[in-house]
Structure 1
Amino acid sequence: MPPRSTRSTTTAPRLSLRPPRAVSRVEEPRLLDGDHREGEHYERLTLDGEDLAGITLQECILEGVGLNDAELRGARFIECSFEDLYAPVFRASRSSWRETSLRSTRWGSAELYDSRLDGVHLDGGKLDYVNLRSSQLSDVLISGCIIGELDLTGVKATRVALQDCTVGTLTLDGARLKDVDLRTSSFRSINGLDGLRGATIDEYQLQLLAPFLAESMGLRIEG
């Protein structure tokens, strides 16, 4: 019998991120809901509690910015770079993220339901609860993150990878997945096992999932 091929048939996220051309450093931002800001650099600022619904940031850099309880519903982030964002409560439902990177993010509860993420890299953060219910994800890489609960209920995800992440609870009820790579990440529990269809896991993960898969199918295992 010929050796089994180790080449993956799962298509990886297609990322083409480049540094934003932010040239204008903003010391005291006057951001308003619905604003369109382009090429600006925000560093070590506090925007806690601000109403920024519908704002558009394009080719902007945010470093060490506090966004606790800021209203970012319907916000658009295009070719931006975020680092050390801090928000015990991050409210950005129905938001849009395109060709954007986030590094060392610290979110408590992140409300991102009904959002769209295209070409996004979330790298190295600690997040307690991430709500992406009914969102659309394409070409998304989540790497090196510690996530308490990742809620992907009803998502449509294409070319998404969780790489070297530690996730407490992964919820996949009603999810539609294509080329979603979960290898190299660990999960304490998974809800909505039917939603795993279209995902790629490794042999070790399969062994851990076996009891849950058997239970979901009504199988009894007796030695």
Structure 2
Amino acid sequence: MSPATPSARRPSTPGATSRTAPRLAPCRPRAVETFSGDVYAEESLEGLTIRAAAWADRDLHGLTLLDCILQGAQLDGTNLKGARIHDTEVAELSAPSLTAPESSWSTASVRDSRIGAAVLHGGVWRSVLVTGCKIDFLNLRDTTLQDVVFENCSFRDVDLVNARATRVAFRGCRAETLDVRSAQFDAVDLRGLEFTRVDGLDALRGTVVDEQQLMALARRLGIDVR
């Protein structure tokens, strides 16, 4: 496995400008050593490749991963509250329930992962790429997101209630429900997100939508566009 290449991180949303497109820093973990030991809450791991970690049902609150590659981890029921995931690539993660509220993600990537409920509320995300993932319920309410891209992902529900998002883009994604009540958006590009239902239309100020999405939103408001 290799870290995401710089070309995969360059924003390419049609019509996006350098001011409004997400500014993703390359995620190139310096994982120089393979790790196979035990891990504990509030521990800090740096520069490690961690494969097939069996961390299900563990209390790992406050765990820090810096310059790591985490591949094929089993995280169902793992308590990762307040975790710090920096300069780290997470790949092929499996978790019917991922519990990491108030966590911090910076210059990180998450790819090819399958998650049931991703409980990530109250956190901070900066320069994060999420690609090729299937997530039933993505809970990012009360989260600050800056320079974040969701690419080729499928969701059932996306919860951005009371989130604060700047330069966030969806590309080739779909969701059944998008909940943006009380959210604050600046340069959020929704054109690459197919959604069936949206809650909180008044919070869509600061987003970019395409013509088809605009028509769907108008119909939801009872507006007849001719």
Q: Same fold (TM over 0.5)?
A: yes
Letter in 1 for 2:32: V
Report the equivalent of 1:16.
25
Report the equivalent of 2:68.
60
Letter in 2 for 1:12: A
> TM-score w.r.t. structure 1 length?
0.91
Report the equivalent of 2:94.
86
Report the equivalent of 1:3.
none
Instruction: Tell me if 1:113 matches 2:105.
Output: no
Q: How many Å separate the matches in 1 of 2:121 and 2:113?
A: 18
Q: How many Å separate the matches in 1 of 2:16 and 2:69?
A: 35
Number of corresponding residues = 212
Q: Where do 5+ consecutive residues of structure 1 fail to align? A: 1-5
Max Rg structure: 1
Q: Deviations over 1:144-195 (max 9, x none)?
A: 0000000000000000001110111000000000000011220010011111
Q: Deviations over 1:99-151 (max 9, x none)?
A: 00010111101110000000000001100001111000000000100000000
> TM-score w.r.t. structure 2 length?
0.90
Which of 49, 63, 78 is matched with 2:57 structurally?
49
CA deviation after TM superposition for structure 1 residue 8, in Å: 4.0
Q: How many Å separate the matches in 1 of 2:79 and 2:134?
A: 21
Report the equivalent of 2:41.
33
Which of 205, 212, 215 is matched with 2:220 structurally?
212
Q: How many Å separate the matches in 1 of 2:16 and 2:127?
A: 21
When the two chains are superposed, the root-mean-square deviation of aligned CA atoms in Å is: 1.6
Report the equivalent of 1:203.
211
Q: Where do 5+ consecutive residues of structure 2 fail to align? A: 1-13
Call closer, same or farther: CA 1:59–1:198 in 2, change over 3 Å.
same
Identity of aligned residues (%): 37
Runs of 4+ in structure 1 deviating by more than 6 angstroms, as ranges, are: none
Q: How many Å separate the matches in 2 of 1:150 and 1:49?
A: 25
CA deviation after TM superposition for structure 1 residue 210, in Å: 1.2
Call closer, same or farther: CA 1:75–1:165 in 2, change over 3 Å.
same
The secondary structure found in structure 2 opposite 1:188 is: strand
CA deviation after TM superposition for structure 1 residue 16, in Å: 1.1
